[in-house]
């Protein structure tokens, strides 16, 4: 063989990345379209591409309420993606029952997810009839309030340490022309804020009775009436938000146009992309500063069955790489969430994430309501709360009655 031919063969061999012969494109759908979310998705894509396969991004704008029906109809309609995000809990229950999702038990057992994933409730939420159907990839807690230090400085009041001090600061904020509480127009945002207030203001016991035991009497009771009274105030404090997406509301806090936002810790990704520093530019109050709690919400990836052995193999590789130590750290630091593995070093975590990790370590955790209620019940409650939020004439008593009536029929 001539030198030229040998060199050509060598070059071709060297240039061909390992495994390229089996390089497979996988379409992955999710609803992560904000700046922080996109930065986090890029870490997942990078990790998967490094396996020699290719992440084909299928971002769906408009948030989970818009994306999930699209994901479900594609899977049930015979046009499945290779992997898709859902929240921890029961959102994919019917897809599993219909036999449309890959069984991941083999990769879960091979990689010891049972010993790695904490709290174990996250893997339990992926498991049906002893088989594993999703890869949990993060812990997101709704139980946070984000405060703009600059807004309180402008209003001449100290940064509140809890919900009650925030309430006292509202007149000064309004006088300074600052929106006290930013709540975007997407329905899940007022529902989420209400649920956080429920834990903080009705207390954990009453919250468990209503959201876990589905006890309608507790939902009608005086402890829960406190939540509705506070929600009526929060509705007024947020009336000038005038944005739709959650990250636009977060941006109002980042720019000081609004003083506060009750939002899950995915908001951290936005502060990070804006170059803001926890403690210096913004303050985070876990459990609204009333009871330090985190809820184990967050995200898991499910893998629809595909009639293609190469793609199926690549799906298992994607599930595996999502839970690797390196990916867990790189993705979660950008996402503002806590890794599902307890054996990773998060020394790069900021002050707020460290607060969350401490609370998690103390075991002060509650399930997210996506894990305790069916999607149907969640949507019905969300409809009542968003109507209450958008109807100043609707009294707290009326809201509480309608909410409790749904709890009475909940599953």
Site of interaction with ligand GAL (CB under 6 A):
31-32, 37, 63-64, 87, 140, 246, 266, 297-299
Residue among 297, 223, 224, 301 nearest 264 (CA): 297
- The first and second tokens of residue 355, run together, are 């607060």
Question: How many CA atoms does the CB half-sphere of 164 hold within 13 Å?
Answer: 5
Tell me the residue number closest to ligand GAL, measured at CB. Answer: 266
Instruction: Determine the Cα–Cα distance for residues 66 and 84; give it in Å rounded to an integer.
Output: 14
DSSP string over 190-216: HHHHHHHHIIIII-HHHHHHHHTS--H
The 3-state DSSP class for residue 287 equals helix
Q: How far is the CB of 64 from ligand GAL (least distance, A)?
A: 4
Q: How far is the CB of 155 from ligand GAL (least distance, A)?
A: 28
Instruction: Determine the Cα–Cα distance for residues 374 and 104; give it in Å rounded to an integer.
Output: 23
Residues 6+ apart with CB under 8 A from 159: 147, 149, 152, 283
Our CB check for ligand GAL shows the closer of 266 and 301 to be 266
Q: What are phi and psi of 107, to 5 degrees?
A: -70, -35
Using N-to-C axis directions, what is the helix angle for 222-237 and 375-390, rounded to 10°?
60
Q: How far is the CB of 30 from ligand GAL (least distance, A)?
A: 8
Q: How far is the CB of 33 from ligand GAL (least distance, A)?
A: 8
Q: How far is the CB of 300 from ligand GAL (least distance, A)?
A: 9
Instruction: Determine the Cα–Cα distance for residues 10 and 4; give it in Å rounded to an integer.
Output: 10
Our CB check for ligand GAL shows the closer of 64 and 287 to be 64
Instruction: Determine the Cα–Cα distance for residues 405 and 380; give it in Å rounded to an integer.
Output: 10
Q: How far is the CB of 80 from ligand GAL (least distance, A)?
A: 21
Q: How far is the CB of 190 from ligand GAL (least distance, A)?
A: 14
Instruction: Determine the Cα–Cα distance for residues 138 and 118; give it in Å rounded to an integer.
Output: 10
Contact indicator for 382, 187 with CB cutoff of 8 Å:
yes
Our CB check for ligand GAL shows the closer of 267 and 285 to be 267
Q: How far is the CB of 354 from ligand GAL (least distance, A)?
A: 20
Our CB check for ligand GAL shows the closer of 118 and 140 to be 140
Our CB check for ligand GAL shows the closer of 62 and 392 to be 62
Listed in sequence order, the DSSP H helices in 77-221 are 93-97, 105-110, 113-116, 121-124, 149-155, 163-175, 187-197, 204-211, 216-220
Q: How far is the CB of 297 from ligand GAL (least distance, A)?
A: 6
Our CB check for ligand GAL shows the closer of 59 and 316 to be 59
In which residue are the tokens 């995000």 written? 85
Instruction: Determine the Cα–Cα distance for residues 30 and 381; give it in Å rounded to an integer.
Output: 24
Q: How far is the CB of 143 from ligand GAL (least distance, A)?
A: 13
Our CB check for ligand GAL shows the closer of 317 and 378 to be 378
Contact indicator for 368, 188 with CB cutoff of 8 Å:
no
Our CB check for ligand GAL shows the closer of 296 and 380 to be 296
CA–CA–CA angle 44, 32, 303 (5° rounding): 60
Our CB check for ligand GAL shows the closer of 353 and 404 to be 353
- The first and second tokens of residue 81, run together, are 């993606």
Our CB check for ligand GAL shows the closer of 136 and 160 to be 136
């Amino acid at each position: 063989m001539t030198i030229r031919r040998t060199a050509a063969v060598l070059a071709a061999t060297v240039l061909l990345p390992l495994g390229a012969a089996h390089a497979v494109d996988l379409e992955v759908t999710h609803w992560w379209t904000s700046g922080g979310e996109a930065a986090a998705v890029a870490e997942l894509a990078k990790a998967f591409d490094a396996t020699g396969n290719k992440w084909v991004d299928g971002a769906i704008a408009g948030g989970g309420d818009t994306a999930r029906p699209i994901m479900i109809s594609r899977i049930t309609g015979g046009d499945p993606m290779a992997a898709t995000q859902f929240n921890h809990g029961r959102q994919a229950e019917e897809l599993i029952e219909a036999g449309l999702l890959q069984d991941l038990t083999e990769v879960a057992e091979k990689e010891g997810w049972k010993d790695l994933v904490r709290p174990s409730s996250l893997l339990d939420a992926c498991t049906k009839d002893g088989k594993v159907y999703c890869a949990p990839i993060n812990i997101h807690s709704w139980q946070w309030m984000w405060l703009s230090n600059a807004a309180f400085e402008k209003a001449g009041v100290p940064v509140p340490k809890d919900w009650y001090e925030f309430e006292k600061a509202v007149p000064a904020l309004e006088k300074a022309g600052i929106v006290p509480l930013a709540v975007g127009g997407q329905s899940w945002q007022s529902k989420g804020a209400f649920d956080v207030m429920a834990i903080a203001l009705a207390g954990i016991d009453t919250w468990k009775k209503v959201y876990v035991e589905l006890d309608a009497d507790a939902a009608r009771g005086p402890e829960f009436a406190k939540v509705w009274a506070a929600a009526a105030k929060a509705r007024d404090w947020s009336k000038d938000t005038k944005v739709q997406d959650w990250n636009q509301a977060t941006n109002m806090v980042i720019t000081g146009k609004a003083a506060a936002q009750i939002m899950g810790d995915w908001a951290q990704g936005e502060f990070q992309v804006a170059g803001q520093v926890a403690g210096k530019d913004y303050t985070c109050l876990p459990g609204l500063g009333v009871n330090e709690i985190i809820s184990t919400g967050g995200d898991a990836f499910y893998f629809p069955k595909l009639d293609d052995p190469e793609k199926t193999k690549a799906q298992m590789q994607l599930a595996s790489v999502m839970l690797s130590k390196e990916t867990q750290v790189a993705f979660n630091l950008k996402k503002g969430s806590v890794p599902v593995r307890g054996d990773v070093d998060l020394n790069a975590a900021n002050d707020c994430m460290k607060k969350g990790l401490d609370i998690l370590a103390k075991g002060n955790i509650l399930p997210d309501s996506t894990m305790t209620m069916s999607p149907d019940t969640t949507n019905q409650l969300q409809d009542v709360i968003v109507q209450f939020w958008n109807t100043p004439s609707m009294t707290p008593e009326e809201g509480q009655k309608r909410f409790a009536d749904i709890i009475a029929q909940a599953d």
